A and B are shown apart, each in its own frame.
Chain A
């Protein structure tokens, strides 16, 4: 105990952490019936942390060349002590992170937390979602198995449909006309250097903005609290909220462990670029709604290519979604109702199309 106190004194003397703790203690988090949604952002951050740690461990053995990539992942899974656990957790955590990121975004949407003054928090969050999807897309190819190889081929074909810059995007992503060794190296570079760098910047900005403006309270609750101030409850961020968040993280950790032990992430069969694409190639679940939509579109919509209409449609929808805080100022009830309705439609559309994509042959 004496050693602990001495260490604390030493740290205080050299770091002055008590000032930071005082600041954290001063920060409060509202407590209400929607408080559980506050954990989603923290859970996403926790999973991002797991990705960083397990990713670094995988990097110790992974080799990003078509000849070695598959074998190195196989080596990690069979020979490296606890390699199976690290690889499985990395894959499962990636998927859970995308799930919690989407859940976090929709909770922010339905609780209307994106409104003024949190426009930049929303924008930085959207940027993080795009980055997280980028992590998923680039990481999927790295084991260089048949499914990931052909899914990347299909996936990189889609931006190739964009008029004007489409072909440039396609060659930029692939490092040439086809999915080759050049694609693997650049996806690896995106996955372990470019995207983590950008993500660090945006996570920092996002957290800073959350700290600056505090936790948002849904407008309906704010009205309730104004009418009945006694109902207003808050807890200190440190340690009360942080301990609760810690509980959520432990639950996530237990889920990850269970998934890794009971459903180890498959490695599949090594990609053969000269083989024909196997039947039933489909993307990861988080791209399924878009993939299924493009599949359902006819080859030609009037004089225009069907896929092109789909790509432009998704692009425009994404742009409108990103600029949402600038449309919804909370001043018009009609606009608010329309936006809420659109949000329900978007969520339902994504779920229905994803399920349809898995059920359709």
Chain B
């Protein structure tokens, strides 16, 4: 009779526990009097409950009183925001870095929420241009909330976050593209426009490659500062490893250093880094080499030789590609040749990287290897088209033979049936 009693009792207990947890949560939510009032107030005191609820702080259980102090359970404003309840209010703008840093620099405290989260943001900030200006009392300079938001802070991985890779450039541009705002600092304000026209922006926004660089990739985020002349190559080489190694092994490194020219930026620019083309190298008016070299010097000859090599292989690949495409469209099987063509492209890419060492012989070695492959794939295309012509000729011959046989059969049938009729 009592066989099922334990089961029933356990189920009832579970129900009661569940209900009590639910009621406690509901009570906690309904007792947040801060939001109840501040959601009704006008800016700057307004707090949108939706923005707050979505924020990483709300998600992790960081409530109003954690930052602001006070008593969120009291509906009496004097008590809720009274000194007795430890109310601190909103921190002054100049105190925000220290205010956020209280938790975010506390490794032991932060470990409880996300052990992988860095806790050096504040110390990095102090080394940044923003932090240094802030320390001097410049209230216009960026503090945590300028980039991350206030009550609506989202993790950087959230696409809606101001500091998500896709949004970083726009966030920085709020100040850095504002000429009037930036006037006292005497720095250009065209970085965002330049970056928006760059190959990096295209990779990030058009191709959706979140690993492509944005402002913080080169300048740092909390420790943001412009890389100096000496360190530019280190910044670029974090991604463009081979180009940097080759540049360091070539003659330009020392010459650039002696002339006080930044390594990569001298040829590629900084924010407006356009898609590199073979036209950048060479002796034409638009080639970057002509900024320093003139007719008759060794660099002029080397630039011309490397440009000629690159364009030679590029046009050979284009020629092979065109003929293979034509053969393929005619239904010929040329996939092996197309696969081999990829080797020639690899050689071209390799040569385009090699030019950073400015050694025409090394570049030429890759170019010659690529030319050999492109010549063989072009030959394969020619053979395919010749085969196609051969097949069509064969078809004409077979059709003529078949027509003769058909005429013969027709005559045979007519003869047979005429004979029978007679």
Contact = CB atoms under 8 A, between A and B. Distances in A.
Interface stretch (B53-61, B173-181, B236-244, B389-397): B389-397
B391 A74 contact: no
A121 B392 CA distance: 41
Contacts of A261: 391-392, 394-395
A250 B416 contact: no
Nearest to B399: A254
A243 B409 contact: yes
B182 interface: no
Interface stretch (A176-184, A195-203, A219-227, A263-271): A263-271
A77 interface: yes
B391 A247 contact: no
A355 B394 CA distance: 34
A251 B335 contact: no
A26 interface: no
Contacts of B394: 261
B416 A239 contact: yes
A267 B328 CA distance: 11
A253 B336 CA distance: 31
B331 A250 contact: no
Nearest to B404: A250
Interface string B375-400: 00000000000000001101100110
Chain B interface category by residue count: 20 to 34
B133 interface: no
A257 B399 contact: yes
A251 B399 CA distance: 9
Contact of A257 (B332, B398, B405, B406): B398
Contacts of A240: 413, 416-417
A267 B338 CA distance: 14
Interface in A208-255: 235, 239-240, 243-244, 246-247, 250-251, 253-254
A150 interface: no
Contacts of B416: 239-240, 243
A78 B333 contact: yes
Nearest to A270: B335
A358 B406 CA distance: 36
Nearest to B392: A261
Count chain B CB atoms within 10 A of each CB in A77, A244, A262 and give the residue with the most: A262
A89 B413 CA distance: 29
Contact of A258 (B395, B403, B405, B417): B395
Contacts of A235: 417
A264 to B, nearest CB: 4
Nearest to A254: B402
Interface in A253-289: 253-254, 257-258, 260-267
Interface in B316-356: 331-333, 335-336
B257 interface: no
A140 interface: no
Contact of B412 (A84, A243, A265): A243
Contact of A262 (B336, B392, B417): B392
Contact of B399 (A77, A239, A258, A267): A258
Nearest to A247: B409
B333 A74 contact: yes
Contacts of A264: 331-333
A74 B335 CA distance: 9
Given A74-B333, A78-B333, A239-B416, A257 B409 contact: no
B392 A253 contact: no
B331 A253 contact: no
B410 interface: yes
Interface string B97-121: 0000000000000000000000000
A77 B416 CA distance: 44
Contacts of B402: 250-251, 253-254, 257
Given A250-B402, A250-B405, A261-B392, A267 B333 contact: yes
A244 B414 CA distance: 11
Contacts of A254: 398-399, 402-403
A122 B412 CA distance: 33
A245 to B, nearest CB: 10
Interface in B276-320: none
A246 B409 contact: yes
Contacts of B391: 84-85, 260-261
Nearest to B403: A254
Nearest to A73: B333
A206 to B, nearest CB: 25
A290 B256 CA distance: 71
Interface of B: 331-333, 335-336, 391-392, 394-395, 398-399, 402-403, 405-406, 409-410, 412-413, 416-417
Given A247-B406, A247-B413, A261-B394, 5 more contacts: A85-B391, A243-B412, A243-B416, A257-B398, A260-B395
19 contacts: A74-B333, A74-B335, A77-B333, A85-B391, A235-B417, A240-B417, A243-B412, A247-B410, A251-B402, A251-B406, A253-B402, A254-B402, A257-B402, A260-B395, A261-B391, A261-B392, A262-B331, A262-B392, A266-B331
In the A-B complex, the 7 residue pairs with the smallest Cβ-Cβ separation, listed nearest first, are: A264-B331, A261-B395, A77-B333, A254-B402, A261-B391, A247-B409, A243-B413
